[in-house]
Amino acid sequence: MTLKKMFTAALIATLTAGTAYAEELKGRGASFPAPLYKVWTSEYYKATGVKVNYTPTGSGDGVKSIKKRMVDFAGSDKPLKQKELKKSKLHMFPTVVGSVVLAYNLEGVKDGELKLSRNAVAGIFNGSITHWDDKAIAEDNAGLSLPHEPITVAVRADKSGTTFNFTYFLNQIDEKINVSKKPTWKAAKVIAGKSNSGVSANIQQIKNSIGYIEYSYKTKLGLTAAQIENKEGKFINPTLESFQEAAKYATWTPENDFYAVIGDPAGATSYPIVAATFLLLPEEKQAMNKNVTKFMEWAYTNGDAAATELGYVPLPKETKDQIRRYWEAKKIK
């Protein structure tokens, strides 16, 4: 083989390798948006031939992985403040809004029949309410037959953005409950599961249990979920409409990398436990970041119907346009 042919072959091999790398993106992190990301990545592959692998390992693992540059992008339901983003040299922007529901396994109690006041929710998770027929629960559920059985509280075993957003809500009611991705729960009977899937499985399998999960897991598995009292004192069922009402109160600014915690919004018809989920990108990998933003541009343009069908709230056009300008400013579009 001549030197020229060898050089040509080497060049082709390099370009081919580069193309193959560009056509497979690897991400991991939050399980909260995983059902939607599964649909988006599948449809994106069909439309473009570009494979996006996303592993729902939990927000804590996602943040850890992107800081160590183990993946191309990470998902987190806990937004990072600018100081942390700057220190770790990361970009951040939201992808969609979702909700946290309280799913339960109570014989004879149908979906949406159980009403839980703010104090009842806090009491169950801080350990002051231990049985289902406790007065704090029973007074809002006169028509239900609540058993005198211990409450099994299903929580996350891993560091979780879902937990962060749920404890943010609880902290608005009981300041002694710390906002955390992995708190120390003080409930009498606690069962921990990894990811939203693990918590959902525990609720399915354990009678007289209750736990916090992302809404799409509830619908996918046919679980029953409670009405929750919002800030205005109204009991609200988890529905797409009540999530959309809550999402209206989200405030975003590109100047602070879209940092926002939406939990416990105002509004008489707002569901009280909603959250945005975010993507994290490494500053220095501009070429790869452009591939990730191409995927997200496709999702913002073509993925709203799938999001709505699964019970997520798509970002409004104004927010998407802000994000596109953010990408341009960071030179990742």
Question: For residue 136, what pLDDT is reported?
Answer: 97
- Res. 21: pLDDT tops 60: no
Band of the pLDDT at 16, cuts 50, 70, 90?
Answer: very low
In a shared domain, residues 104 and 41: no
Q: Could you tell me the CATH number of the domain that includes residue 84?
A: 3.40.190.10
Band of the pLDDT at 158, cuts 50, 70, 90?
Answer: very high
In a shared domain, residues 107 and 232: yes
- Res. 157: pLDDT tops 70: yes
Is residue 174 in some structural domain? Answer: yes
Q: Tokens 């009678």 appear where?
A: 207
Tell me, what DSSP letter sits at residue 256? G
In a shared domain, residues 65 and 183: no
Question: For residue 49, what pLDDT is reported?
Answer: 96
- Res. 8: pLDDT tops 50: no
In a shared domain, residues 141 and 104: yes
In a shared domain, residues 90 and 118: no
Q: Are 163 and 182 in contact (CB under 8 A)?
A: yes
Q: How many distinct structural domains can be found in the chain?
A: 2
- Res. 22: pLDDT tops 60: no
In a shared domain, residues 114 and 146: yes
Is residue 199 in some structural domain? Answer: yes
Q: Tokens 């499985």 appear where?
A: 201
In a shared domain, residues 86 and 142: no
In a shared domain, residues 72 and 187: no
Is residue 12 in some structural domain? Answer: no
Question: For residue 15, what pLDDT is reported?
Answer: 37
Band of the pLDDT at 251, cuts 50, 70, 90?
Answer: confident
* Model pTM above 0.95: no
Name the percent of the chain lying above pLDDT 70: 93
Size (the chain), residues: 333
Please report which helix (H) or strand (E) contains residue 166, including its range: helix 161-173
- Of the candidates 134, 40, 99, 26, the residue with the CA atom closest to the CA atom of residue 312: 99
Is residue 237 in some structural domain? Answer: yes
Whole-number average pLDDT of the chain: 92
Domain with 90 in it = 23-98+249-259+275-330
> What tokens does 177 get?
């409950």
Residue type for 7, please? Answer: F
In a shared domain, residues 241 and 114: yes
For the segment 225-232, the average pLDDT, to the nearest whole number, is 97
The pLDDT tens digits of the residues spanning 258-298 come to 999 988 999 999 999 999 999 999 999 999 999 999 999 99
In a shared domain, residues 296 and 188: no
Is residue 270 in some structural domain? Answer: no
Q: Are 225 and 273 in contact (CB under 8 A)?
A: no
Question: For residue 287, what pLDDT is reported?
Answer: 95
The pLDDT tens digits of the residues spanning 109-138 come to 999 999 999 999 999 999 999 999 999 999
The pLDDT tens digits of the residues spanning 189-223 come to 999 999 999 999 999 999 999 999 999 999 999 99
In a shared domain, residues 156 and 287: no
Tell me, what DSSP letter sits at residue 255? G
In a shared domain, residues 104 and 94: no
